[in-house]
Amino acid sequence: MKFLIIACLVAYAAADCSSLARLQVRGQWAAAYGSNGRSRLALGRLVWESVYANVNNAAGVFSGVRGDNIDSAVFMAHSARVLGGLDMCIASLDEPAILSVQLAHLSEQHSGRGVPASAYPAFVSAVVNAVRATIGVSNFDADSWTACMTEITGGIS
């Protein structure tokens, strides 16, 4: 019985974007996102290649930003905006009031542009995999990323 209770507590903690998880995500994001445009473009490319591989009609959803060509300047600018928005959300994970305002703004943008909430899990997976590939498996905390990205996308949908 004790084992079952402990297992439930561990599962609950793993599913929560806790203070420790937020700290992990912020640090790992800083390492992956970098401080220059080249590293950010490379990270964005990894994210969008994965999204396009896993979301039907992704090019159609992003037709307004040259979704037919993720190497176009227009789409790369879109990628920079998306990652910039994600950067602000991650930076605000430990500031609930700020995060709430940011997520409300992003929710309005996404619903107004017809981005389906059904695509969010693929985006979460793409970001998680891109960060892991960028910083290395041994430095990556998948549980923290999944929990915190789920919190972010849940606030947008």
Residue 78 marked ligand-binding = no
Token digits of residue 80: 């920079």
φ, ψ dihedrals at 122, nearest 5°: -65, -35
Spatial contact of 92 and 101, defined as CB atoms under 8 Å apart: no
Token digits of residue 45: 């490319």
Start-to-end CA span in the chain (Å)? 38
Residue 92 is classified by DSSP as: T
CA pair distance 143, 81, nearest whole angstrom = 26
DSSP H helical ranges for the chain? 2-15, 19-33, 37-54, 58-61, 73-91, 96-112, 120-135, 142-156
Binding site residues, as ranges? 110
Binding site residues for heme b, as ranges? 110
